């Protein structure tokens, strides 16, 4: 019985595809730029991106024996990087807010953000305030997607989101994580998530309308 | 009475836009979908928000996929990481 099992085990091992190589000496040259580019849009500052890439390489080097060659070196490095970025969001979440973030603060109700956009009393309660309702954006929106100036403005708008809203937004759109994962990693409830998602969208929309449509 | 009936059937803009933002994160229930559609029929501001929200999603997708093509990890940083790796190999 034991011999048969061992034979099956050996067969399984023999039919496995060739292992991927691991060459730490050429990591920086081969993957430095792509890891950096991946990180750049997911954090606020270039220095943060540099640090995260460096941490990724150092952690990979330390754990290079755990690389089993089942996936490529590149996939393995990207997985380490993704975990580092999520850690970075989590750490930022616990940092005290700066003054400008406090003024546009977070999940709390009653900071005036929603009240500025929507009427908070009367028969039309919950409907747009005339001054803040969305304007018409015209027909050629798809052209904007090819326009570098537009993408630069969009990036700047994301940068101005409060920390938590920004973390939610980036995990959702740039890391393609699902809601349950985002809630778990950032330690928030689904209803916190919906509030943050909504406010991010309202804020980005308004920021684009102000800075891009008015040009 | 009229207001109560309106409230169960009709969404406010604040609720309608919330559903629009959230539908990228979770499936809306049938009743949410119906009420949202009904609201969008009668409210041009939320209709604009809906279009813009979809457009922003598309733009973010693009930004994520094509992020910063021309950026490079600065040479100094590359050299110092490389140095560390060579030393600790
Ligand atoms: Zn409306």
Residues A52-72 pLDDT 10s:
999 999 999 999 998 988 889
pLDDT digit string (tens) for A166-210? 889 888 988 888 999 999 988 899 999 999 999 999 999 999 999
Task: Say if residue A70 is in the same domain as residue A106.
Answer: no
pLDDT digit string (tens) for B25-72? 999 999 999 999 999 999 999 999 999 999 999 999 888 776 656 789
Q: Identify whether A164 is part of a domain.
A: yes
Residue A128 backbone dihedrals phi, psi, to 5 degrees:
-55, 140
CA–centroid distance, B24 to ligand 1, in Å, is 19
Q: Where are the beta strands (DSSP E) in chain A?
A: none
User: What ipTM was predicted for this assembly?
Assistant: 0.83
Domain coverage including residue A79: 18-92
CA–centroid distance, B39 to ligand 1, in Å, is 6
Non-local CB neighbours of A90 within 8 Å, separated by 6+ positions: A185, A186, A187
Find the residue in B nearest to A142 (Cα).
B55
CATH number at residue A63: 1.10.1740.10
How far apart, in Å, are the Cα atoms of A153 and each of A96, A101, A140, B7? 27, 19, 17, 38
CATH number at residue A175: 1.10.10.10
Task: Say if residue A65 is in the same domain as residue A82.
Answer: yes
Task: Say if residue A87 is in the same domain as residue A139.
Answer: no
Task: Say if residue A108 is in the same domain as residue A77.
Answer: no
Nearest to B25 among A24, A197, A205 (CB): A197
Q: Is A92 exposed, middle or buried (0-12, 13-18, 19+ CB in 10 A)?
A: middle
Total number of domains constituting chain A? 2
**Least confident interval from A8-22, A82-96, B5-19, B30-44:** A8-22
pTM given for the model: 0.77
Q: How far is CA A120 from the centre of its chain?
A: 33
A156 touches chain B (CB under 8 A): no
Instruction: Give yes or no for a contact between B27 and A179, defined as CB atoms under 8 angstroms apart.
Output: no
pLDDT score recorded for residue A108: 45
A128 touches chain B (CB under 8 A): yes
How far apart (Å, rounded) are the C-alpha atoms in residues A166 and A196? 9
pLDDT score recorded for residue A73: 93
Task: Say if residue A142 is in the same domain as residue A177.
Answer: yes
Non-local CB neighbours of A86 within 8 Å, separated by 6+ positions: A171, A175, A185
Please state the rounded mean pLDDT for residues B82-89.
94
């Amino acid at each position: 019985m034991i011999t048969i099992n061992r034979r099956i085990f050996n067969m399984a091992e023999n039919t496995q595809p060739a292992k991927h190589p691991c060459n730490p000496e050429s990591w920086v040259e081969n993957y430095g730029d792509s890891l950096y580019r991946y990180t750049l849009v997911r954090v606020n500052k270039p220095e943060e991106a540099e640090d995260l890439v460096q941490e990724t390489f150092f952690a990979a080097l330390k754990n290079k024996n755990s690389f089993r060659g089942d996936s490529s070196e590149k996939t393995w490095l990207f997985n380490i990087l993704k975990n580092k970025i999520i850690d970075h969001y989590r750490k930022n979440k616990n940092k005290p807010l700066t003054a400008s973030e406090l003024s546009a603060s977070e999940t709390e109700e009653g900071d005036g953000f929603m009240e500025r956009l929507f009427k908070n009393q009367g028969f039309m309660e919950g409907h747009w305030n005339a001054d803040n309702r969305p304007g018409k954006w015209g027909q050629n929106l798809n052209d904007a997607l090819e326009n570098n100036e537009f993408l630069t403005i969009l990036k700047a708008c994301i940068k101005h989101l409060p920390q938590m809203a920004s973390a939610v937004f980036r995990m959702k759109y740039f890391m393609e994580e699902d809601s349950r994962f985002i809630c778990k990693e950032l330690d928030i409830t689904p209803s916190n998530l919906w509030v943050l998602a909504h406010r991010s969208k309202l804020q980005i929309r308004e920021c684009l309308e102000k800075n891009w449509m008015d040009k | 009475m009229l207001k109560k009936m309106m409230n169960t059937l009709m969404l406010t803009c604040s609720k309608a836009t919330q559903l629009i933002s959230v539908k990228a994160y979770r499936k809306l229930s049938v009743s949410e979908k119906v009420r949202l559609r009904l609201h969008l029929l009668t409210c041009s501001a939320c209709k604009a928000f809906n279009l813009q929200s979809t457009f922003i999603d598309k733009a973010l997708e693009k930004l994520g996929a094509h992020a910063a093509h021309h950026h490079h990890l600065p040479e100094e940083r590359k050299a110092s990481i490389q140095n560390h790796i060579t030393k600790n190999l």
